[in-house]
């Protein structure tokens, strides 16, 4: 494939403070809320994806004690945001989280709906309609308090593997501590396109976020689990091996895994230092963590250094509003909100529920990366420093104008939506279309090069808090008018050829033919 020379390459001057985009609050027709009391103190997220093939991103919002709701994007591209609620079959109560994924490989996104109660997988029917598919797909939804999710396609599989994290045994009102119920792994049933009986991921430590990630370029995903230390006994953060045909097994101290005990609530990953290996941001109460591999390389051990303090992303207490008490972080997401080519970080914030030692007025963080790798707080300047009780969130280009917009799901408060009005620099969107069952190429890695600046992202499903985005991956390009892009497809060690994409569009890249198509 022909590799074109770059027309223009430019990144911000090293000492510059990042450009702060202006986010404008728009109700956008959305009236949802995540409601409830004790069983809804965690969870509450949003699934953002295109459910009707119109290339506009729709939303399913977890409602807690209120029904979950689907919001069809009927706004005009490039203009104000607007959504309409449609009856979609997702209107279950007790929903704590929702993630989009094409389970059956038919090119229509399905949903995994986590609940306080039975978890449900829903088959996408097209036109933003869904129906329950637990029985058809052999999915045993149990009766737990589910709070974390991730999905992957194991090597050679034509059906996804799902991980569902569970929280407290909700029948234990007297002594809920130490009652963490089992997380489960749903693998494909051999020889069939359905799930086998779930495997318990024992020990389980009250997971609030999970993420399948090929953190070490092994060609297969491991499962990171972030756990809430409030409720476990003898627990810690976890990383599971997921070897083909083998039972899952934990990474051990002998393999380098280090004991870390936090109020783990959300996982986000991004390769911030362009060493080819992802950093992990873990939300918590008070200090959050930013982990970077101590010794990256082909034989890397999972030994991480916490560089949150050095990078300025501890996000440990409110930075505006006057409440000095420690913060409570939930959903975290790495994206480039000003398109300067440097990955930024959004963190949704909000008190658990009347915890007086933690901030009640706890503004969301929008941490903009500087060229030196540190981050500058810009939540207040950007206009997203809401004091509502945040839980799940999504950064996604809702109106297709190349600037990532923001949705935050608040507990017992209205969902908030902000349109990113810029200024933002150039950008490119990349949507992978793979043959076979793994249509969205989960596990693929996209590398985007502008001059000597490399961005690298893995296509993942999971992490965050209560929901996630399945949409074209967004790359800021600074002033560059085009970028070189290459893809490492799932299960392949070598990347494909570099292709050059012009800025300002979403490009579909298929495995064969590989010529990108402007969407």
Partner 1 sequence: MALLLTRHTPTYSPPVASRTIGYLGVTGYEVVASGRPDQMQSLAGQMNGLSALPARPQDVDDAVAADAAMGAVVTALFAHTGPTGQRALKAMTAKSAAKAAEGLAPGVIEASAGYGRAVGQAILGWAATDGGDRIDNMGFPDSYTPNPEPGHWVPTSHIALQQAPLLPGWGKNRPFVLKSGTDCGLPPPPAWSTDPASPAYVQAREVYDTSRSLTADQKAMARFWSDDAMLSVTPPGHWLSIAMQVIEAKDMPLPQSVDALARLGAAEADAFIGCWSAKFEYDFIRPVTYINRTIDPDWTPLLITPPFPEYPSGHSSLSGAAAAVLTDLWGTQPFTDSTGERDGLAPRSFPSFEAAAAEAAMSRLYGGIHFRAAIEQGLAQGHCVAKAVQALRTLK
Coil, helix or strand at residue 112: strand
Number of other residues whose CB lies within 10 A of the CB of residue 232: 21
Q: Which of residues 271-330 bind partner 1 (CB under 8 A)?
A: 285-287, 306-310, 314, 316-317, 324-326
Q: Nearest approach, Cβ of 98 to partner 1 (angstroms)?
A: 24
Is the bond leading into 203 cis (omega within 30 degrees of zero)? yes
Cα–Cα distance list, 77 to 382, 397, 474 (Å): 22, 10, 16
Does 458 help bind partner 1 (rule: CB under 8 A)?
no
Q: How many CB atoms lie within 10 A of CB 494?
A: 7
Residue choice 2, 14, 175, 494 for contact with partner 1 (CB under 8 A): 175
Nearest distance, CB of residue 165 and partner 1, angstroms: 18
Strands in 336-480 per DSSP E = 344-349, 365-369, 375-377, 390-396, 405-410, 416-420, 426-433, 445-450, 453-458, 461-462, 469-470, 473-478
Kindly determine how many residues on this chain lie close enough to bind partner 1 according to the rule CB under 8 A.
36
- Compare residues 55 and 179 and give the one whose CB is closer to partner 1: 179
Contact characters 400-439, partner 1, x per CB under 8 A: ----------------------------------------
Rg of the Cα atoms in the chain: 21
Which of 353, 381, 479, 491: binder of partner 1 (CB under 8 A)? 353
Q: How far is the CB of 387 from partner 1 (least distance, A)?
A: 19
Q: Is 142 exposed, middle or buried (0-12, 13-18, 19+ CB in 10 A)?
A: middle
Among 38, 255, 295, 320, indicate the residue that binds partner 1 (CB under 8 A).
38
Q: Which of 52-60, 146-154, 229-237, 417-425 is the region at the interface with partner 1 (rule: CB under 8 A)?
A: 229-237
Q: Which two tokens stand for residue 201?
A: 């991921």
Shortest distance, position 459 Cβ to partner 1, whole Å: 31
Binding-residue pattern over the window 145 to 174 for partner 1, x denoting contact by CB under 8 A: -----------------------x----xx
Among 28, 30, 41, 151, binds partner 1 (CB under 8 A): 41
Closest CA to 338 of 302, 308, 372, 367: 367
Q: Site for partner 1 (CB under 8 A): which residue of 99, 277, 358, 375? A: 358
In this structure, the number of other CB atoms found within 10 A of the CB of residue 378 comes to 24
* Coil, strand or helix at 150: strand
Q: Which stretch binds partner 1 (CB under 8 A): 12-20, 73-81, 110-118, 354-362?
A: 354-362
- List residues binding partner 1 (CB under 8 A): 38, 41, 168, 173-178, 229-231, 233-234, 261, 285-287, 306-310, 314, 316-317, 324-326, 352-358
């Amino acid at each position: 494939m022909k590799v074109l020379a770059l027309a223009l390459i430019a990144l911000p001057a090293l000492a510059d403070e990042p450009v702060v985009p202006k986010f404008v609050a728009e109700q956008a027709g959305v009236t949802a809320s995540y409601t409830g009391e004790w069983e809804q103190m965690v969870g509450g997220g949003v699934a953002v994806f295109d459910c009707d093939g119109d290339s506009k991103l729709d939303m399913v919002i977890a409602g807690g004690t209120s029904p979950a709701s689907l919001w069809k994007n009927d706004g005009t591209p490039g203009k104000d945001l607007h959504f309409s609620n449609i009856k979609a079959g997702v209107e279950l109560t007790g929903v704590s989280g929702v993630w989009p994924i094409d389970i059956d490989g038919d090119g229509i996104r399905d949903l995994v709906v986590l609940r306080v109660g039975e978890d449900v997988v829903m088959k996408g029917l097209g036109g933003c309609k869904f129906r329950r598919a637990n029985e058809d797909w052999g999915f045993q939804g149990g009766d737990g308090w589910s709070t974390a999710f991730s999905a992957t396609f194991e090597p050679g599989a034509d059906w996804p593997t799902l991980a569902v994290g569970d929280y407290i045994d909700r029948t234990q009102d007297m002594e809920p501590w130490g009652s963490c119920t089992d997380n489960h792994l749903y693998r494909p049933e051999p020889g069939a396109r359905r799930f086998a009986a779930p495997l318990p991921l024992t020990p389980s430590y009250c997971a609030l976020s999970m993420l399948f990630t090929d953190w070490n370029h092994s060609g297969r995903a491991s499962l990171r689990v972030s756990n809430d230390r409030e409720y476990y006994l003898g627990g810690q953060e976890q990383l599971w091996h997921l070897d083909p045909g083998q039972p899952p097994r934990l990474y051990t101290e002998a393999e380098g895994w280090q004991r870390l005990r936090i109020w783990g609530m959300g996982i986000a990953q991004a390769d911030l230092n362009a060493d080819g290996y992802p950093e992990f941001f873990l939300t918590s109460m008070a200090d959050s963590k930013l982990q970077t591999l101590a010794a990256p390389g082909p034989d890397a051990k999972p030994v991480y250094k916490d560089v949150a303090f050095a990078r300025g992303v501890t996000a440990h207490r409110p930075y505006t509003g006057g409440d000095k008490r420690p913060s409570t972080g939930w959903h975290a997401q790495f994206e480039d909100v000003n398109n300067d080519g440097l990955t930024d970080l959004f963190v949704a914030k909000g008190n658990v529920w009347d915890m007086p030692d933690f901030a009640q007025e706890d503004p969301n963080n929008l941490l903009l990366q500087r060229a030196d790798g540190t981050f500058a707080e810009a939540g207040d300047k950007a206009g997203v420093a809401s004091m509502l009780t945040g839980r799940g969130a999504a950064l996604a280009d809702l109106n297709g104008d190349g600037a990532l917009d923001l949705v935050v799901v608040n507990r017992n408060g209205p969902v908030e939506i902000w349109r990113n009005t810029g200024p933002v620099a150039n950008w490119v969107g990349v949507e992978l279309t793979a043959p076979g069952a793994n249509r969205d190429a989960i596990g693929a890695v996209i590398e985007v090069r502008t001059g000597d600046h490399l961005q690298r992202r893995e296509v993942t499903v999971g992490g965050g808090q209560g929901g996630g985005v399945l949409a074209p991956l967004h790359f800021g390009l600074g002033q560059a008018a085009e970028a070189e892009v290459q893809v490492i497809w799932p299960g392949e060690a070598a990347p494909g050829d570099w292709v050059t994409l012009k800025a300002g569009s979403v490009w579909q890249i298929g495995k064969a033919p590989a010529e990108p198509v402007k969407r």
